[in-house]
Amino acid sequence: KLFWHNIVSGKNPSSIEVIRSPIKNSSLFLGFGLVHMFGNRLTISGDINSRLLGRAQGFYSQTGQDEMALLMAQNFAFLEGKYNGSTITVLGRNPILNAIRELPIVGVSGIFRFARGYVQLRTHNFDLNTLDATVEYKVYVLHYD
């Protein structure tokens, strides 16, 4: 279990808008076509300053035209113990307003070679003022080590 911190506010955001949506739809708080690039902390608890287990590097894009549904593509680069230097790649659809979302693990490296798996996401905290979000990631991966 990991916590993923998407920080969009303040002087040191870890997630930045690189493509702005040309479409205004006030009923969706992320406009269709928007792209965010991120290098988010993966920590052991919901506290962003808790132990750093790795980094989530990738992007998300709002791909729903009339619903909140992101395309997410990201690599988890692990930094801890026997996982240090190994990666998993998560690519999938993330309807962020659903209580639980499931995304496939599409690739792996290092200690996870030949592994298969999926991740389950649950929003841990979403700050309506800053739009910063913390998401709990439960990572299920079957590997041979």
Ligand X SMILES: *[C@@H]1O[C@H](CO)[C@@H](O)[C@H](O)[C@H]1NC(C)=O
| CA atoms of 56 and 48, how far apart (whole Å) | 13
65 binds ligand X (CB under 6 A): yes
> Taking a C-beta distance cutoff of 8 angstroms, is the pair 61, 53 a contact?
no
Rounded to an integer, what is the distance from CA 135 to the centroid of its chain?
A: 7
105 binds ligand X (CB under 6 A): no
Give the contact letters, 5-34, x = binds to ligand X (CB under 6 A), - = no.
--------------------x-xx------
Residue 13 beta carbon to ligand X: minimum distance, rounded to whole angstroms: 25
Specify the residue, 25 or 125, whose C-beta has the smaller distance to ligand X.
Answer: 25
Q: Which of residues 77-96 bind ligand X (CB under 6 A)?
A: 79-80, 84-85
Could you give the dihedral angle defined by the CA atoms of residues 76, 81, 85 and 90, in that order, rounded to the nearest 10 degrees? Answer: -20
